[in-house]
A and B are shown apart, each in its own frame.
Chain A
Amino acid sequence: MTPTEPLPARGPAAPAAVRPPLPVKMVIAGGFGVGKTTAVGAISEIEPLTTEASITEVAAGVDDLTHTPRKTTTTVAMDFGCLTIDPTLKLYLFGTPGQERFGFMWDDIVEGAVGALVIVDTRRLDDCYAAVDYFEHKGIPFAVAVNAFDGTVEHALEEVRWALDVSAGVPVVVFDARERGSVRDTLLVVLELALARSES
């Protein structure tokens, strides 16, 4: 499928011939209650939808002598939204659940994503380590977005960067998950990263 190929005319007589848009996926991660769903809802053209998905939890084999990682599948509620760019292209935003603990694998949701946003609440910085590690490890372009709850950012951005120990190439920005323009601009930061990578 050529991504730029125009859609065939969409008439009521041939609904089955409708060609779907190319879906471009971005992921929104972060600890509990950091504003993932709020951010998705601020930019999505539909009310965020929720579905049950499975994620894999990898526990180090500390309980036995084999040290084999133990994998458990957990069902989690994942929410998402979308934004039609044009009839041939649609942006999907998926909030990854369950990142309050280390060792979760979101491959099932994240596979193929062009980029990710890790939302951070500076009052609970620890909650986002797992997500930061995950995207760094996966080599997925991402930015850290500090959600300015009530307009206050308790830590300076450089402190957040230092505390999270993110690489120099990872943008750390402040945003407001409730503001559409703010979410838009933050997603653009990630997309510019993804674009730079695709051109290099």
Chain B
Amino acid sequence: MADGSAPPGPDPVGPAPAVRPYLVTAGRVADAASGRALPVETQVVATAEGLFALGGLSFEQHDIVAACRLPQSLAELAARLRLHLNVVRVLAEDLREEGLLAVYVPDAEATHDASVLRRVIDGLRAVPDSPRGTE
């Protein structure tokens, strides 16, 4: 996963628990319990192929690729499209396999790296006191 773009190990898809069916994913949900689900902050962005194929996509697949013109996290995508996180996980994985979506799984080693943490600290320190608009 050196370039951060490969998916983690095997397909993070398992049998649906008896919670409720997910019609858009033909009953599949991401298997969070197995620990192989994509992290919620995983970044997704449409590929050139994805944008090219947009007209031929339907429903959620279309909405996801269209929303991913700009990179965002799986959580943002789920919130904006009002889909359950696990539905987005499954669909993103499908779209990645079809080459329509690039999925950047965050590398835990990179995010926990001291130089990265220092940059976050410096960036946060620069945040001014008062929130915009209020007070």
Q: Which residues of A contact B (CB under 8 A)?
A: 1, 3-4, 14-25, 42-43, 49-54, 56, 71, 73, 75, 78, 80, 82-83, 85-86, 89, 91-92, 94, 107-109, 111-112, 114, 179-181, 184, 187-188, 191-192, 194-195, 198-199
Query: Given A21-B71, A53-B40, A195-B117: A86 and B123 within 8 A (CB)?
Result: yes
Query: Taking CB as reference atom, which chain B residue is nearest A115?
Result: B117
Whole-angstrom distance between the alpha carbons of A191 and B120 in the complex? 8
Of the candidates B2, B110, B112, B131, the one whose C-beta lies within 8 Å of that of A180 is B131
- Whether a CB of chain A sits under 8 angstroms from the CB of B37 is yes
Q: Which B1-25 residues sit within 8 Å CB-CB of chain A?
A: 2-5, 17, 19
Say yes or no: A80 contacts B75, CB within 8 Å.
yes
Pairwise interchain contact A22-B116, C-beta atoms closer than 8 A: yes
Q: Is the interface of B mostly helix, strand, loop or mixed?
A: mixed
Q: Which of A73, A83, A194 contacts B124 (CB 8 A)?
A: A83
| Bound CA–CA A83/B32 (angstroms) | 26
Interface size class of B (residues with CB under 8 A): 35 or more
Residues of B within 8 A of A195 (CB): 114, 117-118, 121
A53 to B74, CA, bound (A): 11
**Measuring CB to CB, which residues of chain B are less than 8 angstroms from any residue of chain A?**
2-5, 17, 19, 29, 32-33, 35, 37, 39-51, 69-73, 75-76, 78-80, 83-86, 102, 104, 106-108, 110-121, 123-125, 127-131
Q: Are B117 and A23 in contact (CB under 8 A)?
A: no
Given contacts A1-B110, A180-B131, A108 and B121 within 8 Å (CB-CB): no
Q: Is the CB of B123 within 8 A of A1?
A: no
B52 to chain A, nearest CB (A): 9
Q: Is the CB of A56 within 8 A of B75?
A: no
A1-B2, A73-B33, A83-B123 are known; give 7 further A-B pairs, CB within 8 A: A3-B110, A25-B39, A42-B131, A56-B32, A71-B33, A82-B73, A91-B120
A98 to B44, CA, bound (A): 27
Interfacial chain B residues near A179, Cβ < 8 Å? 129
> Is the Cβ of B79 less than 8 Å from the Cβ of A43?
no
With both beta carbons as reference points, the residue of chain B lying nearest to A187 in the complex is identified as: B124
Q: Which of A19, A91, A192, A198 contacts B112 (CB 8 A)?
A: A198
List 10 A-B pairs, minimum CB-CB distance, nearest first: A20-B43, A20-B71, A1-B4, A85-B123, A181-B129, A49-B79, A23-B41, A108-B32, A16-B48, A51-B78
Q: Which of B33, B39, B69 contacts A112 (CB 8 A)?
A: B39
Which listed residue, B48, B75, B124, touches A188 by the CB 8 Å rule?
Answer: B124
Tell me which of A52, A82, A89 contacts B116 (CB under 8 A).
A89
Cβ contacts under 8 Å, B110 to chain A = 1, 3, 22
Interface pair A22/B111, CB less than 8 Å apart: yes
Task: List the A side residues contacting B83 at CB < 8 Å.
Answer: 51-52
Query: In the complex, which residues of chain A have a beta carbon less than 8 angstroms from the beta carbon of B41?
Result: 23, 25, 92, 94, 112
